[in-house]
Amino acid sequence: MERNDQFQDKADGACQLHDVRFYNLLPRAIVCSSFGQSSRKLALARDDGTIEVWNMAYAPFLEKTIPGGEGVSIEGLAWAGQRLFSVSLAGTLIEWDLSKIPCVKQSILVTGNAAWCVDVSKDERLLAVGTEGGYINVYRLDNEELAYERILDKQEGRIVCCNFDWTGNFLVTGSTDAVRVWDVRNGHAVHKMTTGRAHNKQETTVWAVLVLKDFTILSADSRGKLVVYDGQMGTVLEQHLVSTADLLCLALNEEKNIVFVGGVEPIIRVFDRADSGGSVRTDKLFVRSHNRRGHTHDIKTLATYGRYLFSGGIDGSLLVTSSPPFTLDTHFPLLPGPASMVAADSRLVLLKYVNYLEVWTLGPASAPAPALGGNKVLQIRSKNDGHILAAAIAPNGRWIVYSTEHIVRLLRYDYNRKEPVNSRLVRVRNTPEHFAVCYRAQFTADSKGLFLYDRTGGGTINFFSCAAADDSEEWDHKQSIDAGRWLSEMVTLSAVSQCSRYLVCADLASSIVVFERTAAKWKRSISLPRYKLPPTALALQPGRTRVAVAFSDHKLFVYDFDQFAFVFSTYLRLPAGTDPNHPISGIAFDPRHESAMVLQNGSKIVTLRFGPDIEDEVLQQEETSRAKKWRPVTNGSEQQDGEGSLTKCKLRMVRDAPRLVSIEWLGESELVAIQANALSMVEHLPAAFRIKRYGKT
């Protein structure tokens, strides 16, 4: 569904808003996660085999994605410093190379068939993998190598979970009806603690174990019980009936005195340690303090960082909660950007899904508000249902390109606006040399140029040009831009100027480079000043040589790369009603005003105005407030990043657009806001856990 509305900004005037809600993304469950303390990154795996790496240092944002595939099932993740490991039901232990383009660094087949769990010792010296056959494979991590150490004694049944103690000499595992303590040095089991059963013929599965510093062991099982053990004696200390359904995951806070418990019931239970010096006096080791809510379905994984708790499950959303004071931030299961693209000249919208693309039309601007519009005119499914890494549509709507891990396709689309049924889609088979798989694709504004960002990791950007020849159009390879000389990491943001003369690229190492087209060649023009954090949004101002860049700590600047000077630089203090714990993920310069732009902050659309008049107005307000001996919350940077640049601005939240994917201007008075359809994310989920209460149906 598309809805044409208007929103009015007192300073910027009326604007036609295309409220696009026909992006029918499906929920992708989060099955496991791991937080790396040294890298401050969260790795999580989804049910389609995709691994996502999130940067959690400031406002969380998706940094890199490792595509999954049909039949790929990731069951465990673990960090060892900057190294990421995963295990799967295929029985493989994989170390991932996260430098530049993520790829497999090494892969090892473990003993015992399917691998169910993985853990790294606290000193990052050992790594253990639990398997279906009851074998525990132990590996040594030395000098960036992964060396086989030993296999512990075989046990009967699957090893579901494992966790090292704080010395790294002992390993605690959970399986059917038992929790075991293993001495890693000799490979033998030291203790076996049986869990008991709720019913005689129903096995109890231990889904998660956690080892505290004093060797107290906690387990969460299918009876809904949290059991506390003495790891040195191998005895049960206490039990807590937490839920009537399975408990699936455990997490410990940084101070080691609070335990978080999650499971099939979509509530996170919080237990405080009673002997940690608190005011509560009890004979129990752990007491229940409060609950945290936010999920709608099973919670399958928990991780902590400082005062923050990261949780994920069947509903696919990554929740970040903290207390006190209690805050809740939801990151919906959206695809990595750019997931949507507007073909401005043809008024078409390209939507990217996991393994197919859709092309929709936009309603006319002259339609009365509110009005409905938008029709699906094309669907393209990838070959062998491979995960689509990159896709783009030319502004004139004539060309569509997409790439998976193994193939790249260029398609010509002859869209018949009067009779869409008679539109034609033709695959271009005689593609030029260097037309290879890529992780990013982008057309120029005149639809005659195409950039493909090479996936081999060398940092090459291949540029192709379209030329008419004998009543046909052919694409030729014009240049391989050696961008790796200046961009050491993976390019995550890029923009092409309206005149098709400039290309701006930004990578995760905070390098921002401007390439200029001179004659028939692209050459590096300038590298912008490097900031300490990677950028989260980038945009070029139409008709000007200005680029706006936002970072995860809400730093934003506008730089004129022709004048080699900052035009505007500030740290944003977002207004009330916005999402301060979300980054600025989209920037769109207002074509009607030189010093105005629209920002995407989580699910909020925010307008920003700057300039000499705004600077004087805000400074005057600050002087007035000092005279009255109180200081208002104003937007501005206390430190000057660019000599002579403006630092004051005015922000205004103008629209709440739940599950906002992207914002983009269409002409001078139309703004397209693409949102994921909330209904499609819910209707395909399984039934949620329900507790029957007396007197209620």
How many domains is the chain partitioned into structurally? 3
On the CB side of 696, CA atoms within 13 Å amount to 4
Given 444, 466, 485, which residue is the final one in a domain? 485
Peptide bond into 370 cis (omega under 30): yes
Judgement on whether residues 380 and 527 belong to the same structural domain of the protein = no
Per cent of the chain over pLDDT 70 is: 91
**Residue 360 belongs to domain spanning:** 337-485
Q: Order of strands across the sheet with 327-331?
A: 299-305, 308-313, 318-322, 327-331
Given 485, 501, 525, which residue is the final one in a domain? 485
Judgement on whether residues 92 and 60 belong to the same structural domain of the protein = yes
Please tell me the distance from the alpha carbon of residue 564 to that of residue 526, in angstroms, as a whole number. 9
Report the pLDDT averaged over residues 173-192: 95
Judgement on whether residues 514 and 459 belong to the same structural domain of the protein = no
Q: Order of strands across the sheet with 145-151?
A: 115-120, 126-131, 136-142, 145-151
pLDDT category at 281 given cuts 50, 70, 90 is low
The answer to whether position 287 is within a domain reads: no
The answer to whether position 279 is within a domain reads: no
Tens of pLDDT along 412-428?
A: 999 988 888 888 999 99
Judgement on whether residues 468 and 524 belong to the same structural domain of the protein = no
Please tell me the distance from the alpha carbon of residue 269 to that of residue 250, in angstroms, as a whole number. 10
Tens of pLDDT along 282-298?
A: 677 899 988 999 999 99
Given 213, 240, 255, which residue is the final one in a domain? 255
Distances in whole angstroms, Cα of residue 416 to Cα of each of 237, 398, 427, 641, 668 = 73, 11, 17, 51, 25
How high is the pLDDT of residue 634?
Answer: 53
Buried b or exposed e, range 456-488, using 16+ CB within 10 angstroms:
eeebbbbbbbbeeeeeeeebebbbebebbebbe
Report the pLDDT averaged over residues 442-470: 90
- 398 secondary structure, DSSP code: -
Cβ atoms of 354 and 47 closer than 8 Å: no
pLDDT category at 669 given cuts 50, 70, 90 is confident
Tens of pLDDT along 253-272?
A: 988 889 999 999 999 999 99
Judgement on whether residues 41 and 139 belong to the same structural domain of the protein = yes
Distances in whole angstroms, Cα of residue 520 to Cα of each of 477, 479, 671 = 12, 9, 34
The dihedral through the CA atoms of 314, 315, 316, 317 has a sign that is negative
The answer to whether position 12 is within a domain reads: no
Tens of pLDDT along 38-71?
A: 999 999 999 999 999 999 999 999 999 999 888 8
The answer to whether position 146 is within a domain reads: yes
Per cent of the chain over pLDDT 90 is: 72
- Structural tokens at position 193: 């603690």
Judgement on whether residues 432 and 522 belong to the same structural domain of the protein = no
Cβ atoms of 539 and 577 closer than 8 Å: no
Tens of pLDDT along 291-333?
A: 999 999 999 999 999 999 999 999 999 999 998 888 999 999 9
Number of other residues whose CB lies within 10 A of the CB of residue 66: 22
How high is the pLDDT of residue 612?
Answer: 87
pLDDT category at 647 given cuts 50, 70, 90 is confident
The answer to whether position 508 is within a domain reads: yes
pLDDT category at 638 given cuts 50, 70, 90 is very low
Number of other residues whose CB lies within 10 A of the CB of residue 549: 24
This prediction's pTM:
0.93
Tens of pLDDT along 344-357?
A: 999 999 999 999 99
How high is the pLDDT of residue 520?
Answer: 77
Judgement on whether residues 501 and 404 belong to the same structural domain of the protein = no
Higher pLDDT, 308 or 645: 308
Query: Mean of the per-residue pLDDT values for the chain?
Result: 89
Report the pLDDT averaged over residues 375-399: 94
Indicate the helix (H) or strand (E) that contains 616.
Answer: helix 612-627
Judgement on whether residues 248 and 345 belong to the same structural domain of the protein = no
Cβ atoms of 120 and 136 closer than 8 Å: no
Report the pLDDT averaged over residues 16-37: 93
- CATH classification at residue 384: 2.130.10.10
Judgement on whether residues 183 and 43 belong to the same structural domain of the protein = yes
Report the pLDDT averaged over residues 264-281: 78
The answer to whether position 132 is within a domain reads: yes
Higher pLDDT, 274 or 493: 493
Q: Is the pLDDT of residue 242 over 80?
A: yes
Residue 549 CB contacts under 8 Å (≥ 6 apart), including other chains: 506, 512, 528, 531, 535, 537, 538, 556, 557, 559
